[in-house]
Amino acid sequence: MTDDTTQQSARHTGPDLTLFLAFHRGLRRDFGRLAEALDRCPPGDTARRALIDEHTGMQLRALHHHHSDEDANIWPLLRTLAPEAADVLDRLEADHQEMDEVIERLTGPRRQAPVQAADLRRLHDLLNTHLDLEESRVVPLIRAHISAEWWEQAGKSVSKSHGRDLPMIAAWTVDAASEEQRAHIFATAPLAMRVLYRLAWRRVYERRVAQVFG
Ligand SMILES: [Fe+2]
Ligand SMILES: [Fe+2]
């Protein structure tokens, strides 16, 4: 069997988790960065604060969306296919609820920057601990039990349901991806999305990031 054939068959034996894991990389990275951006924001600079809040809102919607998809679709399927996963899935769902409480405070009425930054750091810590568990215990079960076809269909509906956030979330995922993940995303993404990314989405995202993170 040639290397190509080996890669092809490996690709067809399990779900393609590239986007899921690149998304995790972005989540792991950016809430801490947003806290730092708030620390640097001069108290009277309402325009900059508004941009940071807007970007934070987009990231929090992406996070909430990811958790809802896991709780409503992926975990229930995994509970059926791998009943031994029940305990760890219960723990992950409880983590999602704990993070929801922080997300609620972060998306409520505007607060002083240091208070908001403290909650962003709390979320960063909770999320990184959560993703350590999810990636070490549950990702192997997803690879072993969930079919490539189911995962692909589910991924398509998730992308559609991002609605107006899709351009920013798609460009953010590409930005957060490792070099290897990025090459795979460009090799497999639908042509229309690749064209939109190159013509518009990337530029809009990069302008936003420059404004928010300086
Ligand atoms: Fe996840
Ligand atoms: Fe999760």
Q: What are the tens digits of pLDDT across the range 16-67?
A: 999 999 999 999 999 999 999 999 999 999 999 999 999 999 999 999 999 9
- Answer yes or no: is 69 within a domain: yes
Distances from the Cα of 180 to the Cαs of 22, 174, 176, in angstroms? 10, 11, 11
55 CA → ligand 1 middle, Å = 20
Distance (Å, whole) CA 75 – CA 79: 6
Ligand 2 centroid to residue 41 C-alpha, Å: 30
pLDDT bin (cut points 50, 70, 90) of residue 11 is very low
The rounded Å distance from CA 147 to ligand 1 centre is 17
pLDDT confidence bin for 162, thresholds 50/70/90? confident
For residue 51, give the nearest of 168, 167, 211 by alpha carbon.
211
Host domain of residue 185: 17-213
Ligand 2 centroid, distance to 28 Cα (angstroms): 12
Express each pLDDT in 59-107 by its tens digit. Answer: 999 999 999 999 999 999 999 999 999 999 999 999 999 999 999 999 9
Helix (H) or strand (E) holding 120: helix 113-133
Is the pLDDT reported for residue 1 higher than 80? no
Q: What is the pTM of this model?
A: 0.90
Domain membership flag for residue 203: yes
* Half-sphere exposure in the Cβ direction for 164 (13 Å, CA): 3
- Would you state the pLDDT for residue 6? 41
Q: What is the CATH number of the domain that holds 146?
A: 1.20.120
Ligand 1 mean position, distance from CA 139 (Å): 9
Q: Report how far ligand 1's centroid is from the alpha carbon of 1 (Å).
A: 34
Looking at per-residue confidence, does 132 or 155 come out higher?
132
- Does a structural domain hold residue 54? yes
Q: What is the pLDDT confidence band of residue 203, given thresholds at 50, 70 and 90?
A: very high
Task: Kindly report each contact of residues 55-61 with a partner whose C-beta sits within 8 Å and lies 24 or more positions away, as own/partner.
Answer: 55/208, 55/212, 56/106, 56/120, 57/107, 58/165, 58/168, 58/169, 59/27, 59/30, 59/31, 59/34, 59/172, 60/103, 60/106, 60/107, 61/165
Has residue 8 been placed in a domain? no
Cα of 83 from ligand 1 centre, angstroms: 19
* Closest ligand, as measured to the CA of 26: 1
- Note whether residue 12 is domain-resident: no
Distance from the alpha carbon of residue 1 to the mean position of ligand 2, in angstroms? 37
Closest CA to 123 of 73, 180, 59, 41: 59
**Residue 3 falls inside a structural domain:** no
Q: Which amino acid is at 196?
A: L
Contact 97, 71 (CB under 8 A): no
Rounded to an integer, the average pLDDT of 144-162 is: 91
Q: With b meaning 16 or more CB within 10 Å and e meaning fewer, what string describes 88-102?
A: bbeebeebbeebeeb
Provide the number of structural domains found in the chain. Answer: 1
Q: Which amino acid, residue 119?
A: D
Kindly state whether residue 123 falls inside one of the protein's structural domains.
Answer: yes
How many angstroms is it from 24 CA to the middle of ligand 2? 9
pLDDT at res. 10: 42
